[in-house]
Amino acid sequence: MSHVLLPVFLLLRRVDTVEVIGQALAAKAAGRGVRTIAARLGRPVETVRGWLRRFAGRAGQVRRVFTVLLVDAGVDPDVPAAGKDVFADAVAAVVGAWWSVRERWPGLGEVSPWLVACAASNGILLAPSWPTEMINTSRL
């Protein structure tokens, strides 16, 4: 058995950086199609489709986890209103959590929403499954 430490800009089992994948997720949430996204990012359509499908499959979990992070980290959190679908809501929750983290810890500097998402998910944002602790949204 071997252990590998991932840098904060990589997701587990993904070659592309979380920034590139995050751009694809944000573009999908904004209503762009997979072929347009793939062309814009210079990535194969099947690769981008895989990212979008994996995220869509757990968008509800992502929304819950990052909404809890948004509220817990936020000084005076502003929870995003419901969007057009759960995919867009999950992306909005990631961005909202990023905003709360930036407000709480301004010394972090210029950190993107997707780097925060990668760090907060321990690099498993698009992994096949999440551990139970990751999706436990109960509060003390």
- pLDDT tens-digit readout, 78-106: 777 777 899 999 999 999 999 998 888 88
Question: Is residue 73 a part of any domain in this protein?
Answer: yes
Question: Is residue 1 a part of any domain in this protein?
Answer: no
| Mean pLDDT of the region 52-67 | 93
Question: Is residue 11 a part of any domain in this protein?
Answer: no
Q: What is the pTM of this model?
A: 0.84
Question: Is residue 62 a part of any domain in this protein?
Answer: yes
Question: Is residue 10 a part of any domain in this protein?
Answer: no
Contacts of 58 (CB under 8 A, 6+ apart): 130
> What range defines the domain where residue 115 resides?
18-127
DSSP 8-state class, residue 44: -
How confident is the model over 3-16, as pLDDT tens digits? 667 677 777 778 78
The candidate with the shortest Cα–Cα distance to 126, out of 24, 14, 7, 9, is 14
- Distance between CA atoms of residues 84 and 102, nearest Å: 26
